[in-house]
Structure 1
Amino acid sequence: MQKILFIVHSAPYGNESFFSALRLALQLQEQHKSAVELKLFFMSDAVTGGLAKQQPAEGYHLQQMIEILTAQGATVKLCKTCTNARGITDLPLAEGVRIGTLVELADWTVEADKVLNF
């Protein structure tokens, strides 16, 4: 099983980097379900993408995409330092999303076969 780590830094809305990361992760899960283990770590402004109760006026719905990923076995964590800095650590998170630490990200990075940055 190939371990793939996505590190996402970009804000969830405003450009398509965050969306592109989720699209690729979903495609990998669909196309190579039994051959990949996906982990996603959101840092910087990307942490706001892990919040629950998103209601975008138009376009893609990131919360739904994240919840599909976690329901299918992907691990999604938000950087605790980043959520603390933005005052969102105690807000409700999308289904399956958890708060993580830099220690976990360091371990995930060493364990990963591939690391993708968005």
Structure 2
Amino acid sequence: MAHLGMVLQTGPYTYENADTVVKLADTALAEGHEVSIFLYIDGVIAANKNIDTPDERNLNQLLQALADKGAAIAACGACSKFRGITDEAFADDIEMGSIVDFADMLMEVDAVINFAM
């Protein structure tokens, strides 16, 4: 099976990129593929559990569900810090990472899809 990497750079409630990442990752996991997701720039906001969101589109919970299914999810620590997000604001299985973790992900995956503006 393939190892799919995704980079989410856009905010969760400005574009539908976060929703696409969640649906694509869920489908890939269901088909037996490995999935790694790196939250970068405003993409880190999707993992913030302190945002008051509608239940049907709570991206933090949707990302946690992906992690529960085996997706590796990391958020850029500098991007998070600059947006006032601490690692306590993330779901349990979402790691505060660095650009080094991003580079490691790029080395491990078979394909990368970048979700930007």
Fold agreement, TM-score > 0.5: yes
Structure 1 unaligned residues grouped into runs of 5+: none
TM-score by length of 2: 0.88
Secondary structure of 1:65 counterpart: helix
Amino acid at match of 1:18: A
Matched, 1:89 2:79: no
Partner of 2:10: 10
How far apart are residue 24 of structure 1 and its match?
0.7
Amino acid at match of 1:11: G
Greater than 3 Å deviation, 4+ residue runs: none
TM-score by length of 1: 0.88
Partner of 1:111: 108
The 3 A distance-change label for structure 1 pair 54 and 86 is closer
| Cα-Cα RMSD | 1.6
Partner of 1:51: 48
How far apart are residue 112 of structure 1 and its match?
1.1
Partner of 1:24: 24
Distance 2:28 2:51 in 1: 24
How far apart are residue 92 of structure 1 and its match?
2.1
How far apart are residue 56 of structure 1 and its match?
1.4
Equivalent of residue 65 in structure 1, options 57, 62, 65 = 62
Residue-pair matches, total: 115
Q: Which has the higher helix share?
A: 2
Structure 2 unaligned residues grouped into runs of 5+: none
How far apart are residue 54 of structure 1 and its match?
4.0
Distance 1:55 1:68 in 2: 18
Equivalent of residue 74 in structure 1, options 57, 71, 74 = 71
Assess if the C-alpha contact under 8 Å between 2:87 and 2:96 holds in 1: no
